[in-house]
Each structure stands twice: as structure tokens, then as C-alpha cells.
């Protein structure tokens, strides 16, 4: 059982809150490259923050080939369920909304509900979305 102080300590960083916000936006698992593209932070930083969140008991991870997918551990405890509800309601400042919009764009590139493109720049993401819309 994760201790509350470990959970709150893990959430005491803006980038980790931004990651939690992304995961709150969807019931689907997110791969690391989708989070990198949405937050526009280096992969190593995202991976380090995800490790902290996972070690605090907030996330679960699964590997599929070269992709690692993360999701919130919504079943672990009443504390986490309540915490995620509060965070969903209150993480609504502009930066969190911008992150959510970028994630929505990035998820549109999925095929069969899974990431297939790896890391992409914003320009490439826009180009790929335009191609899909023309089909």
C-alpha cells in the first residue's frame, strides 16, 4: 500500500502534475512518445517523471514491443480514486488545457487504439492529421 506522503511528494512537481492531467483526459493507456509530444519535454525527463509516479503507486505500466504504455491505477485505493476526481476537477489552468488539446491531436494519429508513429514534431503531427482528414 502506498503511503499518502509518497503520493503527495510525487505530485509536488509541475511536470508530474501535467502528466497526471494527460492520463486523466482518457481512459486509454498512453505511450511515452504521446506524452512527450503533448508536453513538448524531452523523453528522458518524461520517463524519469513517470518512474517517480509509478514508484509512488499512481501509475501502472505495460510494454508492447518498443512502446511502454502508462495508465492511472484507478483501482488501487479509495484515496487514489478520490484524489484523481479532485485533480480532474481542479487541473484546469491554461497550461493543463493546452496539454490536453495537444494530447487530443496526438491521439488522433493512433491506429486501432495504439500508437504507431513514435515521436513526432508539431509540424509533422499537423501534416499527418491533415492527410487523415482527406482520406
What's the pLDDT score for residue 125? 54
What distance in Å separates the CA atoms of residue 115 and residue 134, rounded to the nearest whole number? 20
Give the pLDDT score at 135.
61
User: What residue ranges define each of the domains in the chain, with the CATH number in brackets?
Assistant: 4-134 (1.10.10.10)
User: In whole angstroms, what is the distance from residue 130 CA to residue 123 CA?
Assistant: 11
Per-residue model confidence (pLDDT) at position 126: 57
Per-residue confidence at 74, pLDDT binned at 50, 70, 90? confident
DSSP 15: H
How many angstroms separate the Cα of 37 from the Cα of each of 31, 106, 118?
10, 7, 9
Summarize pLDDT for 11-67 with one digit per residue, the tens: 999 999 999 999 999 888 999 999 999 999 999 999 999 999 999 999 999 998 888
| Band of pLDDT at residue 121, cut at 50, 70 and 90 | low
Amino acid at each position: 500500500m502506498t503511503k499518502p506522503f509518497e503520493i503527495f511528494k510525487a505530485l509536488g512537481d509541475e511536470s508530474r502534475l501535467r502528466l497526471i492531467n494527460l492520463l486523466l483526459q482518457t481512459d486509454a493507456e498512453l505511450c511515452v512518445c504521446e506524452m512527450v509530444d503533448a508536453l513538448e519535454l524531452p523523453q528522458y525527463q518524461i520517463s524519469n517523471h513517470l518512474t517517480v509516479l509509478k514508484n509512488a503507486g499512481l501509475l501502472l505500466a505495460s510494454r508492447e514491443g518498443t512502446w511502454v504504455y502508462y495508465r492511472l491505477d484507478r483501482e488501487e485505493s479509495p484515496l487514489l480514486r478520490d484524489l484523481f476526481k479532485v485533480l480532474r476537477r481542479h487541473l484546469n489552468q491554461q497550461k493543463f488545457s493546452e496539454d490536453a488539446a495537444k494530447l487530443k491531436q496526438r491521439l488522433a494519429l493512433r491506429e486501432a487504439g495504439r500508437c504507431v508513429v513514435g515521436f513526432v514534431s508539431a509540424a509533422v503531427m499537423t501534416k499527418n492529421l491533415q492527410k487523415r482528414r482527406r482520406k
